[in-house]
Structure 1
Amino acid sequence: MTPERIGRIRWRCRRGMLENDLILARYLDAHADTLTEAELAVLDRLLDLPDNELWDLIAGRGAPPDAGIAEFVAQLRAA
């Protein structure tokens, strides 16, 4: 994975909602070097969600739209 791609993802992790921003930044700081292309694709889809929907998923109040996002959200919660 290129540093440019990580930079773009890191920028997209900056959210309007502080809670999302902190969780995503912490996860990316810990796992950026080990993310697979499949995980990056799921993260891209997750970052397409509006802040409130994203927070509902992270907080366990929303149903993930697919299994890939469900697995990634579980990783976010565990980080």
Structure 2
Amino acid sequence: MQDRETRIKQLRYRAWRRGFREHDFLMGTFADQHLATASEADLGAFEALLDQADWDVYYWIVGQVPVPDRFQSPVMDRLQALSFTVETIRQTS
């Protein structure tokens, strides 16, 4: 089993390389801001999202498609809040 620091580094790497810029930014920014202090449950929830199709997760985060129950978590709530913050900043710039 890998140590926590290695796991977080791998998750951050995966988060910043999702496949399209908007999703990279949301997942990567979240990883940079939250993974170092995340609980094991939150790390698992984030990792589960990284294992899903990029567009599915992106649409869940931005609210275009309802989030399946199994992916509802504090991690998803924080990702959606980050998305709202980014969109608000973009609209006022």
Normalising by structure 1, report the TM-score: 0.85
Output the CA distance in 2 between the equivalents of 1:4 and 1:41. 14
The Cα of 1:16 is off from its aligned counterpart by 0.3
Structure having greater relative contact order (Cα 8 Å, sep ≥ 6) = 1
State the secondary structure of the residue aligned to 1:57: helix
The Cα of 1:27 is off from its aligned counterpart by 0.9
AA at the equivalent of 1:61: Q
Identity rate, percent: 32
Output the CA distance in 1 between the equivalents of 2:14 and 2:8. 10
The Cα of 1:9 is off from its aligned counterpart by 0.4
Report the equivalent of 2:91.
none
Report the equivalent of 1:74.
77
The Cα of 1:77 is off from its aligned counterpart by 2.0
Q: Which has the larger radius of gyration?
A: 2
Report the equivalent of 2:27.
24
Output the CA distance in 1 between the equivalents of 2:35 and 2:58. 21
The Cα of 1:29 is off from its aligned counterpart by 1.2
The 5-angstrom pairing of residues 26-65 of structure 1 reads 26-65=29-68
- State the 4+ residue runs in structure 1 displaced beyond 3 angstroms: none
AA at the equivalent of 1:32: L
Normalising by structure 2, report the TM-score: 0.74
Name stretches of at least 5 consecutive residues in structure 2 with no aligned partner: 83-93
State the secondary structure of the residue aligned to 1:16: coil
